[in-house]
Amino acid sequence: MNTIIFRTISPLLVSLMLLFSVFITLRGHNEPGGGFIGGLIAASAWALYGLSHGVPTVRRALRFHPMEIAGFGLFLAAATGILSLLFARNFMTGLWAFPQILGVEVALSTPMFFDIGVYFVVMGSMASIALSLEEREGGV
Amino acid sequence: MAASSDSPAVDLAAAMITTPASLQDWLVILPLIVPLTAGAILVMIRHSTHWHRPVAGLALAALFLLDLLLLRRVLTEGPVVMMMGSWLPPFGIAFTADLLGTTLATVSAFVALVATATAPPSINTAERRYGFYPFLMLLMTGVTGAFLTGDLFNLYVWFEVLLISSFGLLVLGSEKSQIDGTVKYGLLNLVATTLFLVATGLLYGALGTLNMADIAIKARAAGPDVPLGALAALFMLAFATKAAAFPVNFWLPASYHTPTATVSALFAGLLTKVGVYALLKTLVLLLGPSSAYLGTLLAFVAGATMLAGALGALASSDFRRMLGWLVVSGIGNMLVGAALVTGGALTGSIFYAVHSMLVMSALYLASGVVEARAATADLRKLGGFYAASPLFSLVVLALLFAVAGLPPFSGFWPKAILVDAAFAAGAPWLGAAVLVSGFLITLAVGRAWLYIFWRGGPEGTPDGTVALAGVRSFESNAQAVALIGPVVVLAVAVAVIGLLPAGLGAIAEGAASGLLDPAGFTARVLGVTP
């Protein structure tokens, strides 16, 4: 795996995959996509980066341990459900807001943040598994 | 995404609940949110292990308090319902706290709180770093969710949550025996969970609904072409494996003695009872008439489980393994309700479930005390504990009396109710099985107590002499309190239930009549009766 072609191309691929994972996650509300598949794409991006540049580089790039990221995702997902309490609605009732940002209407909703939470849970847990497997193999 | 300007006018009242939800209504879901959020926070701060205990302790105390409040409400009002996301039933996921689920959830929270409140030294720093407390929180999320949900697929999800957390707790020490136990535990439980999923999928295909109340209605209205009997058998096998009923019980004694005593105590108290709860709920409340033909088989299974557990306990030479067999024998008693499906038998089963949660957790914690002082659980190498600490020995004797079903402790009443119900239902041999297994367990626990506590020392110590070399003293008073405190608290609960059984008896009776009254349940959830 330690060829110069792979090492040169992988940062480009990784950044493209991460960007695409965000796109897929946000598109998921009404079209194919969502937090789960987005998180898988992001996790495979980190796994690819680990193959080309070694696990320590990935851990530095992530700053937080992948499991901590997964925990944050779970917390975010739970928090979007709890938000309904403030609006006197049932747990996990979808709440919507349509603020005008720079003249464009942006649809913000609790389902979207729930999905972002799912994204972090899947990315964190999958990246955690992938990185520890790569570490065990000795990496590059 | 939907935009505010171009969305068509939709009458949301046809699909969603539009009335506001008060904090009172949130009481159904708060017992789930608290451990879930606490678990997420603990995973986020997994390296700051000194924060784990306070956060987890606070969350468990809050969980117990919320469960008590919910129980008070369910006792006065009947099942309390909340629809997730405000979607109308039967399409949204319902949380339906009935008396059975709420009672078991409350006792689970109590057991978890007591077992971990004193920071057992057995949960050492390494285990904390591997995530004892986050796993504990997620385990409680799964257990509470399973007890309170009113949706069959959601029940499967909570089973998975608690299963995965329990895998984590089982392998915390990463010792060889633990991994061996986890493989057995994991494999059988995965098979059972898969069967549960398959059965749920087939049921959804047959009835077109997953809401428990809706299933109860549609199953009773279904024609003979719907294979509900076969589905009931699938559910029975899946949950019997989860509950460790004979002949699919062997994973339990093979795995429960391997983790630390606190983890064993939590598993013995909580996990098998979730299986029994799911069995009672699906076979009695949901598929009632369709599963009636399984009654005879279940009665045989119940009797065989009791006797297998009792014989296994007699044959064990390891204290913790013997406790595993005692859990199995208790499961047999709890299955009597599912087999006979009478008010009395179900009351006895539910009473027994609560008793078993308290007493088995206490006994596993007591085995932790013994192991901390003697560094072994082998009955042949133990001895002299009565000379070393007589009061603790008497507490354990009381717990062992309770598990054998001797008065005046908590085990006596459910067994009395069960025997009575078995004779009343025309199955005197099942009542006899309860009594015989109780007798065998009395022998087994009597033997264990004589070996560990009464005799002067390990095997080979001459009569009348005391050899205390095998019994170390505690490292500090704090350690003694942390280890013995939870055992004493649970033993007090066992004794109080034994002396004042009326309160719990009334709750168990109410829970049993709730199981036998699908009309009341569906009226509460859907507003219609079958």
Q: What is the structure's pLDDT at A138?
A: 56
**What band does A1 get if pLDDT is binned at 50, 70 and 90?**
low
- What does the H/E/C string look like for A24-90? HHHHCCCCCCCHHHHHHHHHHHHHHHHHHHCHHHHHHHHCCCHHHHHHHHHHHHHHHHHHHHHCCCC
Q: Using the predicted structure, report yes or no on whether residue B441 has a pLDDT greater than 70.
A: yes
In this complex, is the C-beta atom of A90 within 8 Å of any C-beta atom belonging to chain B?
yes
**Average pLDDT rounded to a whole number, residues B497-515:** 93
Task: Determine which of A66-75, B424-433, B448-457 has the lowest per-residue pLDDT on average.
Answer: B448-457
Chain B residues whose C-beta is within 8 A of a chain A C-beta are 1-5, 16-17, 20-23, 25-26, 29, 33, 36-37, 39-47, 82-86, 95, 134
**What band does B125 get if pLDDT is binned at 50, 70 and 90?**
low
Task: Determine which of A126-140, B311-325, B336-350 has the lowest per-residue pLDDT on average.
Answer: A126-140
Q: How far is CA B423 from CA B343, B364, B470, in A?
A: 13, 33, 48
Q: Which amino acid is at B91?
A: F
Facing A68 at nearest CB: one of B21, B46, B83 = B46
Q: Using the predicted structure, report yes or no on whether residue A140 has a pLDDT greater than 50.
A: no
As a residue count, chain A comes to 140
In this complex, is the C-beta atom of A75 within 8 Å of any C-beta atom belonging to chain B?
yes
User: Which among B292-296, B299-303, B387-391, B526-530 has the top mean pLDDT?
Assistant: B299-303
DSSP state of B93: P
Q: Where are the domains of chain A?
A: 4-136
Contacts of A97 in chain B (CB under 8 A): none
Interior/surface letters B436-475, b for 16+ CB within 10 angstroms, e for the rest: ebbebbbebbeebbebbbebbbbeebeeeeebeebbeebe
Give the three-class secondary structure for B87. strand
**Average pLDDT rounded to a whole number, residues B59-65:** 96
Q: Using the predicted structure, report yes or no on whether residue B206 has a pLDDT greater than 50.
A: yes
In this complex, is the C-beta atom of A79 within 8 Å of any C-beta atom belonging to chain B?
yes
Contacts of A107 in chain B (CB under 8 A): 1-4
Q: Using the predicted structure, report yes or no on whether residue B174 has a pLDDT greater than 80.
A: no
- The rounded percent of chain B whose pLDDT value lies above 70 is 95
DSSP-derived pairing of the beta strands A108-109 and A96-97:
antiparallel
**What band does B5 get if pLDDT is binned at 50, 70 and 90?**
very low
A90·B17 Cβ contact <8 A: yes
Q: What is the structure's pLDDT at B4?
A: 46
Chain A contact probe: residue of B28, B36, B44, B46 with most A CBs at under 10 A: B44
Q: Using the predicted structure, report yes or no on whether residue A136 has a pLDDT greater than 80.
A: no
In this complex, is the C-beta atom of A7 within 8 Å of any C-beta atom belonging to chain B?
no
Alpha helices in B78-151 (DSSP H): 99-117, 125-130, 132-148
Q: What is the structure's pLDDT at B123?
A: 62
Q: How far is CA B328 from CA B357, B493, B529, in A?
A: 12, 22, 37
Q: Which residue has the higher pLDDT, B20 or B64?
A: B64
Q: What is the structure's pLDDT at B233?
A: 94
Q: What is the structure's pLDDT at B3?
A: 45
Q: What is the DSSP string of B175-231?
A: -HHHHHHHHHHHHHHHHHHHHHHHHHHHHHHHHS--BHHHHHHHHHH--TTS-HHHH
Distance separating alpha carbons of residues B90 and B54, to the nearest angstrom: 40
Contacts of B48 in chain A (CB under 8 A): none
B44·A89 Cβ contact <8 A: no
Q: Six-digit token pair at B301?
A: 């299974």
In this complex, is the C-beta atom of A83 within 8 Å of any C-beta atom belonging to chain B?
no
**Average pLDDT rounded to a whole number, residues B210-239:** 92
Q: What is the DSSP string of B401-468?
A: HHHHT-TTSTTHHHHHHHHHHHHHTT-HHHHHHHHHHHHHHHHHHHHHHIIIIISSSSTTPPTT---G
Cα dihedral sign, A82-A86-A89-A93: negative
- The Cα of B42 is separated from the nearest Cα of chain A by a number of Å equal to 8
Contacts of A84 in chain B (CB under 8 A): 21
Cα dihedral sign, A110-A115-A121-A123: negative
Chain A contact probe: residue of B43, B149, B174 with most A CBs at under 10 A: B43
Q: Six-digit token pair at B118?
A: 């004193």
Give the number of beta-carbon pairs within 8 Å between A and B: 81
Closest CA to B511 of B291, B350, B336, B352: B350
**Average pLDDT rounded to a whole number, residues B37-46:** 92
**Average pLDDT rounded to a whole number, residues B457-474:** 76
Chain B contact probe: residue of A64, A76, A85, A91 with most B CBs at under 10 A: A91
A74·B5 Cβ contact <8 A: no
Residue of chain A minimizing CA distance to B34: A78
Q: What is the structure's pLDDT at B119?
A: 63
Distance separating alpha carbons of residues B261 and B265, to the nearest angstrom: 6
State in Å, rounded, how far the first CA of chain B is from the last one: 40
The per-residue pLDDT for range B133-165, each reduced to its tens digit, is 999 999 999 999 999 999 999 999 999 999 999
Facing B36 at nearest CB: one of A70, A78, A84 = A78
Other CB atoms within a 10 A radius of the CB of residue B390 amount to 11
Helix (H) / strand (E) containing B332: helix B319-340
Q: What is the structure's pLDDT at B462?
A: 78
- The Cα of A34 is separated from the nearest Cα of chain B by a number of Å equal to 12
Q: Which residue has the higher pLDDT, A104 or B489?
A: B489
Q: What is the structure's pLDDT at B383?
A: 82
Closest CA to B113 of B310, B265, B312, B283: B265
The per-residue pLDDT for range B235-250, each reduced to its tens digit, is 999 999 999 998 888 8
CA B418 to chain CA centroid, nearest Å: 19
In this complex, is the C-beta atom of A86 within 8 Å of any C-beta atom belonging to chain B?
no
Q: What is the structure's pLDDT at A107?
A: 85
Q: Which residues contact A106 (CB under 8 A, 6 or more apart)?
A: A98, A99, A100
The per-residue pLDDT for range B283-333, each reduced to its tens digit, is 999 998 888 899 999 999 999 999 999 999 999 999 999 999 999 999 999
Interior/surface letters B23-40, b for 16+ CB within 10 angstroms, e for the rest: eebbbbbbbbbbbbbbbb
Q: What is the structure's pLDDT at B52?
A: 86
Q: Which amino acid is at B290?
A: S
Q: What is the structure's pLDDT at A2?
A: 74
Q: Using the predicted structure, report yes or no on whether residue B7 has a pLDDT greater than 70.
A: no
What is chain A's alpha carbon radius of gyration, rounded to the nearest angstrom? 17
Q: Using the predicted structure, report yes or no on whether residue B470 has a pLDDT greater than 80.
A: no
B37·A84 Cβ contact <8 A: no
ipTM confidence score: 0.91
Q: Which residue has the higher pLDDT, B237 or B86?
A: B237
Chain B contact probe: residue of A90, A93, A105 with most B CBs at under 10 A: A90
Facing A29 at nearest CB: one of B1, B20, B22 = B1
Angle between helices B261-280 and B343-374 (to 10 degrees): 170
Q: Using the predicted structure, report yes or no on whether residue B466 has a pLDDT greater than 90.
A: no
A78·B25 Cβ contact <8 A: no
Facing B20 at nearest CB: one of A81, A88, A91 = A88
**Average pLDDT rounded to a whole number, residues B477-499:** 90
Q: Using the predicted structure, report yes or no on whether residue B179 has a pLDDT greater than 60.
A: yes
The per-residue pLDDT for range B399-410, each reduced to its tens digit, is 999 999 988 889
Give the three-class secondary structure for B52. helix
Q: Using the predicted structure, report yes or no on whether residue B529 has a pLDDT greater than 80.
A: no
Distance separating alpha carbons of residues B229 and B225, to the nearest angstrom: 11
Asked if A70 and B43 count as a contact pair (C-beta separation under 8 A), the reply is yes
Asked if B111 and B364 count as a contact pair (C-beta separation under 8 A), the reply is no
**What band does B124 get if pLDDT is binned at 50, 70 and 90?**
low
Distance separating alpha carbons of residues A36 and A32, to the nearest angstrom: 11
Q: Six-digit token pair at B513?
A: 């009549």
Mean pLDDT taken over chain B: 89
Facing B41 at nearest CB: one of A29, A75, A96 = A75
